[in-house]
A and B are shown apart, each in its own frame.
Chain A
Amino acid sequence: MSNTNSNACDEYLETWFAAQDAPATSPQAHDESAEAAAAHVEECAHCAQAAANIDKQALLLSAHFAELAVPSPPPLQPRAPLQAASGYPRRVSLNVLPFMLLLWLIGLLGVVALAWWVVSKFIE
């Protein structure tokens, strides 16, 4: 399809879409350009396919959004860094696990060393 035809098709499609989306009582749904666009979309295979795609997308979008769970709004108050909007502690990524284990190990070794030092002093 040439660019000129493609542009004309785009305009027809846009007019058709606007009329589709307009309430049946609005003048936009009944003016001459809307009727011409509807006739074109029906006749032109390219536009008919595009119109079918738009209709299908609308159905897909409605289904997609219907499946989306929307939680209720949390209270609006600033959160602590490790608190999620739900109020519960934020989930921590597994990537930080080795670092946390290292810190834990260093802490443990520190406590053991301190205890050893205190006990050795006591024995002396």
Chain B
Amino acid sequence: MELDAALVEKARSGDREAFDEIVQQLWGPVFVFVRGRINDEEKARDLAQDTFLRALDKLDTLRSGQSLMSWIFTIASHRVIDCYRRQGTQPKMRGYDTEIDGDGLTGRAPTGRDFTEAAPTLGVEQAEDAERLQAAMQQLHDRYRAVLILRYWSGMSPAQIARLLGEPEGTIRNRIFRAHRQLQGLLED
């Protein structure tokens, strides 16, 4: 999945067909991103649609050269937070545009447990593993979740993710690594 810069420029200049093409390309990662936080498929679909409607409405505020994907992930993150606020609940989450703390291991066990101990046992029931993984994914920092989705759902290489998010490749490799580590910490909690 590579977003054509010319396509983004056309969408920015008001070309609705170009924007619809972008929606076709980015719908999957954005839906999966939202679905990772919302345990309701219909609501996740509404929020993903709202994200693109909001993006369409505010497209003129996207700076030239700014990554459209990062911008849309930020909007999606805000939509999810708004959804939780409307429900009167406080999600245990860090928005896409919030800083990642220190070494990014905020999701680790507060006891500072070594992340290699109590590794998920291979051979335990797949369903149980999947359930724990889903719960851990919900608590993962949005930026970490985003790179894991692009890496393992979209099957993109770190170089492709770097181009899509407009960040250095080294930063993306580092972020994927730290996402794995934070996820490990959360799986052990």
Contacts and interface: CB of A to CB of B under 8 A. Distances in A.
Interface of A: 1, 6, 13-14, 17-18, 21-23, 46, 49-50, 52-54, 56-58, 60-65, 67-74, 76, 78-79, 84-86, 90-91
A73 B45 CA distance: 8
A108 B114 CA distance: 65
Given A46-B116, A90-B46, 5 more contacts: A18-B170, A21-B158, A23-B157, A50-B184, A57-B187
Contacts of B129: 60
A53 B149 contact: no
Interface of B: 19-20, 23-24, 27-28, 31-32, 35, 41-42, 45-46, 48-49, 52-53, 56, 114-116, 119-120, 122, 126, 129-130, 133-134, 137, 148-149, 152-153, 157-158, 170, 173-174, 176-177, 180, 183-184, 187
B45 A71 contact: yes
B173 A18 contact: yes
B133 A68 contact: no
Which residue, of A1, A69, A73, has the highest number of chain B Cβ atoms within 10 A? A73
Contacts of A84: 42, 45-46
Given A60-B133, A68-B32, A85 B114 contact: no
19 contacts: A6-B114, A13-B177, A17-B173, A17-B180, A50-B116, A53-B120, A56-B119, A60-B120, A63-B126, A64-B133, A65-B149, A67-B130, A71-B45, A73-B24, A73-B27, A76-B53, A84-B42, A85-B45, A85-B48
Contacts, number: 110
A65 B152 contact: yes
Contacts of B114: 1, 6, 46
Nearest to A58: B152
Contacts of B148: 61
A61 B145 CA distance: 11
A12 to B, nearest CB: 12
B42 A49 contact: no
Given A62-B152, A86-B42, A71 B49 contact: no
A14 to B, nearest CB: 5
The 9 closest A-B pairs by CB, nearest first: A73-B27, A65-B153, A85-B49, A49-B116, A61-B152, A85-B45, A18-B173, A17-B177, A85-B46
Contacts of B35: 68
A91 B149 contact: no
A58 B126 CA distance: 14
Contacts of A21: 157-158, 173, 176
Which residue, of A53, A63, A90, has the highest number of chain B Cβ atoms within 10 A? A53
